[in-house]
Amino acid sequence: MAFSILVVNPGAGSTRVALFNDEDPVFEENLRHNPDELLKFAKIIDQYEFRRDKIIELLQSKNVALESLSAVVGRGGPFKPLTSGTYLIDDLLIHDIKSGNYQSEHPSLLGAMVAAEIAGKSNVKAYFVDPVSVDEFWELARFSGLKEIKRKALSHALNVRMVAKKTAKKLNKPYENCSFIIIHLGTGITVAAHLKGKQVDSSNANEDGPFSPQRTGALPTIPLAKLCFASGNQYDDIKKKLNREGGLLSYLGTDDIRVVEDRIARGDEDAEAVYNAMIYQIAKEVGAYAVVLKGDIDALIITGGIAHSDRFVSQLKTWISFLCPEFFVYPGEGEMEALALGVLRVLRGEEEAKTYQ
């Protein structure tokens, strides 16, 4: 009998919901939320009941009986540092979310809360898989250059690990024996080095690495310090500028790569210069992670929403293809599938669920 798995993935402006029967999606819906509705809530955690009710309404409209579910999985948020894997959602995790014991505020925190409540109503277990706080860094990767600041392991670990495992299978090698550089191209960008089944180093999409559609990536430190002390700037203002108003949006007024490519096609030289600069910065970051693996690379892997752009991928390849002949592209984020597969491995007894602690 197939396992019926409900997947809940809250994002900044929407909540994605899917139902899987084993590996097969029955449906996937993207519940978009009016920005004005979300602005009513002072904190992301305050959106919980609003988003939960929207999900329940969707399940009712799809005639999904809660008692038919085998498990519920929610997107894992920026929790405390954890090793990779599929985790049971328990009272300790919910307590930590409600009390603010996490690394940063993000709508994905709500995924665990919603999953736990729906699972409770369904009398099944709730899980999360490979949260953004997966931390398998070796100690060399934690040094920032300033004693008071330690580099954090925050990345697109969920999709990155899924495509790593898919690639290992295509190469007919155990994932635990592979060395990959994986480039996740989304609103934020992760470049990660995977060595023998562990993500030993990666860029942090919020704090370093290349600039992306909305984020600045690493910046020159002295000008940044001056900006922080400029008249009237508060911490939240700077944080918003770095993580929500940087990158393409800062230079071109849009975070949509399709719009940028259309402007380039119409002869916009500024758009082309910024576009090329983002590709250049990503390529430099890939070069840095080639050093992490000492050049011993089984494959280069590109994934994420921007990977749908043949032009972007093709131009990026011209900079980095010399590093490794094996090249794999998985367009899209793949988060819903990754969440379902993580739980499915546990339900089938292929791996054990981990305990949050």
pLDDT in tens, 97-130: 999 999 988 889 999 999 999 999 999 999 999 9
In angstroms, what CA-CA distances link 72 with 77, 78, 129, 295? 16, 19, 11, 40
pLDDT at 12 over 80: no
Q: How far apart are CA 269 and CA 264, in angstroms?
A: 7
Helix (H) or strand (E) holding 128: strand 125-129
> What is the residue type of 283?
A
Q: What percent of the chain has pLDDT over 70?
A: 100
Residue 327 pairs with which residues in a beta bridge?
A: 300
pLDDT in tens, 288-326: 999 999 999 999 999 999 999 999 999 999 999 999 999
Tokens of 320: 């980095």
- Band (pLDDT 50/70/90 cuts) for residue 231 is confident
pLDDT at 1 over 80: no
Domains 4-135+336-355 and 157-331 alike in fold: yes
125 φ, ψ (degrees, to nearest 5): -90, 150
Superfamily of domain 4-135+336-355 in CATH is: ATPase, nucleotide binding domain (3.30.420.40)
Closest CA to 129 of 153, 117, 112, 146: 112
Q: How far apart are CA 17 and CA 29, in angstroms?
A: 5
Count of C-beta atoms within a 10 Å radius of residue 53: 11
| CATH domain 157-331 topology | Nucleotidyltransferase; domain 5 (3.30.420)
The domain spans of the chain are 4-135+336-355, 157-331
pTM above 0.75, yes or no: yes
Q: DSSP of 68-88, one letter per residue? A: G-SEEEE---S-S-B-SSEEE
